Structure 1
Amino acid sequence: YGNKGLGQVDPNQVRELMGDEAAAQIEQLGELAKLLEDAGYIEKKGGRYDLTPRGMRKIGQKALKDIFSQLKKDGFGKHKTSFTGSGGERTDVAKKYEFGDPFLLDLEKTVMNAVFREGPMTPVRIQPPDFEVYRTELVTSSSTVLMLDMSRSMILRNCWAAAKKVAMALNQLIQSQYPRDNLYIIGFSDRARRMTAEGLNQVQWNEQVYGTNMQHGFMMARQLLGKHKSGNKQIIMITDGEPTAHLEETGEVFFAYPPTQRTVTETLKEATRCTREGIVINTFMLEKSRYLAKFIEQLTAINKGRAFYSSPESLGEYILVDYVSQKRKHVK
């Protein structure tokens, strides 16, 4: 039936050609489409159905739930880092008061310190050294570019579905939990292009396009993150291969496989510019190839970001847990 859509399929013709069971399934699909449309998850545009913003949020919530539900079955740890600062949310851990600390007084410990110092007597005389205050968590703001490899190998190796799921879940996480953060999505193959979470479901693959152009992706990410002068800035790159393309000075794409040293050099030059602007590049590798491992080793030496090898199945757990753990820093 080509692009006519489900509504143009005649169940009677299906019954004649494929039997009662196939016809019943077609009718059920039609009912499901109507239910989703009535619920506001999809809408009809022309001869096809598109997801609505509500539908995208629902899918993002489901992806987020799926990924975090796996954490109970895995021993993946968080990255602990301590920073001095003020403000943020109160914890249940107390410390001696120091000048500049938020005065979130732990009254019980403060009184007990005075009792231990003076002995059991009334009235209790509290002195400045007795004060204990609750520690706070510093919730950092950040701007993130999620760079998704859209080369053909991502489809052939069944990696694209996992990458897309992570993008939708991360988008939902930031919208619901960290609304002050900024998230941009870039897809890169022969060239890099700006994308939206909503647009991920409309991606069209061109079989005639070759290349993994990280250089252009880093360039575009640097420009987007350059709009934000404060907070943490990072690139999260998901890829299954080394860079095989770069932009020439003329704007034309140069592609070669195996990759040339020139492509690697141009890509690392752009990574160096990101480093100078305080942008951290964290890479999640979905393939263990010799070329990719060598390139990532050079990239991390320049940028000091982190590199992980992950299977498509555990990709979401790594990225979302790492994102959340980097948001909260204990204040001393």
Structure 2
Amino acid sequence: SGSMRNGGQYVQAKRMAMALDGLIRSDYPGDYLQFVEMYTVAKLRSSGEIPSIMPKPVTIRESVVRLRADMSDPDITEMDLPLHFTNIQRALQLSRQWLGGRPTPNRQVMLITDGLPTAHFECSDLYMMYPPDPRTERETIREAMRCKEAGITINVFLLPSWSQTEDDVQFAHRMAESTGGRVFFVAGRELDRFVVWDYVKRRRSILG
């Protein structure tokens, strides 16, 4: 999302992605790994696309934003949307659907974010709301619970942000703990080390 540009957070996220991809390719070639780019919507990405992904430019500067787009309308495309919002709900949904087709007992989502979600879907309606709205939080937690029902654990790696509040921290805990996951408070430069460490530790605990 747009805020990942602050402090070069997106650089550390891409470095982590490449490190995890390299680890799995070299040490755990039988494992499955899929990247999901998360912005106003969300999109599956291959490892080869990671280096070219950039934060979406912030195109709305108002202090309060309340937008809705009917994505069933064929005249509305992604290019018509402000893309700098954060749709964790849609990213989790794509992750759940992708993991559902993989025969593995270790189904986990490693969610990297710097704060609360600011976009969500209700049927075909896409809502984009800033400051973050309880309605978005509620729909995001509902999708997290669907992940839990599918046997998926969500671990949240919470990056520091100048705008981060106690609400961001509490939401991260609710989302992760509702699926049996954890929250890691990680400075950007430590992100790759923490994510790789958590992946290896969880993998060994399941195999053990």
- Residue 99 (structure 2) pairs with residue 225 (structure 1): yes
Task: Identify if the C-alpha distance between structure 1 residues 185 and 234 changes in structure 2 by more than 3 Å, giving closer, same or farther.
Answer: same
Gaps of 5+ in 1: 1-150
Is the contact made by 2:39 and 2:56 (CA closer than 8 Å) also made in structure 1?
Answer: no
2:169 partner SS: helix
Task: Give me the CA root mean square deviation.
Answer: 1.8
Task: Give the corresponding residue for 1:266.
Answer: 139
How does 1:3-18 map onto structure 2 within 5 Å?
Answer: none
Q: CA deviation at 1:285?
A: 0.3
Q: Post-superposition shift, 1:224?
A: 0.2
Code of the aligned partner of 1:188: M
**Equivalence for 1:245:** 119
Q: Hey, what does 1:166 align to over in structure 2? A: 16
What TM-score does the superposition give when structure 1 sets the normalisation length?
0.52
Task: Please list the CA deviations of residues 51-103 of structure 1 after superposition, one character each: whole Å capped at 9, or x if unmatched.
Answer: xxxxxxxxxxxxxxxxxxxxxxxxxxxxxxxxxxxxxxxxxxxxxxxxxxxxx
Larger radius of gyration: 1
SS in 2 for 1:264: helix
Cα distance, 1:232 vs structure 2 = 0.7
Alignment partner of 1:257 is 2:130: yes
CA change 1:262–1:171 in 2 (3 A) is same
- 1:320–1:330 distance in 2 versus 1, CA, 3 Å: closer
CA 231–266 in structure 1, closer or farther in 2 if over 3 Å, else same: same
CA contact (8 A) 1:210 1:255 kept: no
Pairs aligned (count)? 181
The residue number in structure 2 matching 1:311 is 187
**Which residue pairs with 1:200 in the alignment?**
50
**Aligned to 2:146, what secondary structure does the other structure show?**
helix
The letter of the residue matching 2:199 is: Y
Mark the CA change 1:214 to 1:331 in structure 2 (over 3 Å): closer, same or farther.
Answer: closer
Q: Report percent identity of matched pairs.
A: 34
Cα distance 1:329–1:216, how it changes in 2: closer, same or farther (>3 A)?
closer
Shift in CA distance, 301/201, structure 1 to aligned 2, threshold 3 Å:
closer
Q: Which amino acid aligns with 1:181?
A: D
Shift of 1:212: 0.7
CA distance in 2, matches of 1:330, 1:301: 18
> Are 2:200 and 1:324 aligned?
yes
Asked whether the 8 Å contact 1:282–1:305 carries over to 2, the reply is yes
Q: Normalising by structure 2, what TM-score?
A: 0.81
**Unaligned stretches of 5+ in structure 2?**
60-82
Work out which of the residue numbers 137, 158, 177 in structure 2 matches 1:285: 158
The structure 1 residue matched to 2:171, chosen from 277, 287, 295, is 295
Kindly indicate whether the alpha-carbon contact (under 8 Å) linking 1:221 and 1:235 is maintained by their aligned counterparts in 2: yes
Deviation at 1:211, TM superposition (A): 0.9
Report if aligned partners of 1:237, 1:283 keep a CA contact under 8 Å in 2.
yes
User: Contact 1:286 / 1:312 at 8 angstroms: preserved in 2?
Assistant: yes
1:213 aligned onto 2:63: no
**Separation in 2 of the partners of 1:313 and 1:166?**
9
In 2, the alpha carbon distance for the partners of 1:297 and 1:204 equals 27
Displacement of 1:157 in angstroms is 2.7
Secondary structure of the 1:170 match is helix
Q: CA deviation at 1:162?
A: 0.4
CA change 1:178–1:205 in 2 (3 A) is: same
